[in-house]
Amino acid sequence: MIRVLVIDDSVFMRTVLTDLLGRDPSIDVVGTAEDGRDALKKIEGLSPDVITLDIQMPNMNGIEVLEVLQSFENPPKILMLSTLTSRDAELTKKGLDLGADDFMLKPKNPGKIRGIEQELLSKIKHLITIPSITEKPRIIQRPAENLVMIGSSAGGPPMLDSVVSSLKEDLNAAVVITQHMPAGFTASLAERLNRISPLKVKETENAELLQIGCIYVSKGGFHTIISANPLSNGKMGGKITHSKAPPVHAVRPAVDKTFASGAKVFGKKTMGVILSGMGSDGGEGMEYIKNAGGRTIVVKEEDCLVYGMARSALERNSVDKVLSLKSIPRDISKYIASIE
């Protein structure tokens, strides 16, 4: 049973959220709170597994609650709820930086609030499955000679949670994730993934060298290009280059740009993975990887919210394997270990 505490200053929202969650037999709504002060008392007293946290509240808002929760030894998983305004977007980004695990939008029209039931239940159940890494193993970083590249868009973040939390600390490769996201939000995604992965996760920086034991999240607003970086042992490493070239498939960063450039540098020591996503970004990039002798995999359609990106790779006959989401981390480790 998942213990949930609902925190919102609106009586209407507290009532509706409690009703929606209470319909699921695997969820127990252990209480509600009307502001941040009330929430902190009830978090300590009720020990919920998950809290739904409104951002805008009187007395103590959601951001202030998050600041206090940073000092908790075992804080609950945190799902922020916000409206689609420019101010709330900034606060949501700040909340993710402060430790919130995920967020979702509340409808502006209260009459449509029941339409979020499936997304709400899905996010809460997903959060419970993701571990928190309190202490990372010490990894001696050195230039990477192998490269794993992951592309995703709509429906991708929960899948990224599952993949990066399951990768092993001894992975002999650098990992570059290109997730379609606006500028400003990829840093928060990287920080959140860093809390659940045994490997170091960070947002890309221009001109940084790809290191073993590090996962890089492509910075929003830039294409992540992998440039060649000759190593002292005569082998080839890679370097991140940020590009402000025009969007591809109406997005920047584009998966195709990263995949194609990475395949050119690392050749058969490259692995490409496509998760959930709308559109065709990634299909051409997977073809580059396949032609360079690398490994290409896509997730099964039944595990995806949207299958456009994976389908575009399949239509190009550029996919070696179609795997379930839970099988992908194991296949990544197996292939990287087989590279000579």
CA 298, 302, 304, 310 torsion: positive or negative?
Answer: positive
CB count in 10 Å sphere of residue 307:
20
Q: In the annotation, is 281 catalytic? A: yes
CA distance 284 to 266: 17
Name the phi and psi angles at 126, rounded to 5. -65, -45
Catalytic residue among 9, 35, 101, 153: 153
Catalytic residue among 54, 161, 166, 180: 180
Where would I find the beta strands (DSSP E) of 56-183?
A: 77-82, 102-105, 147-152, 174-179
Of 189, 204, 114, give the one whose Cα is nearest residue 159.
Answer: 189
Strand 200-203 with 174-179, pairing:
unpaired
Catalytic residue among 9, 54, 281, 303: 281
Q: In the annotation, is 180 catalytic? A: yes
Strand 102-105 with 236-243, pairing:
unpaired
- Retrieve residue 243's tokens: 């590009």
Name the phi and psi angles at 178, rounded to 5. -115, 105
Contacts of residue 112, defined as CB under 8 A and 6 or more positions apart, other chains included, come to: none
CB count in 10 Å sphere of residue 138:
7
Catalytic machinery residues: 153, 180, 281
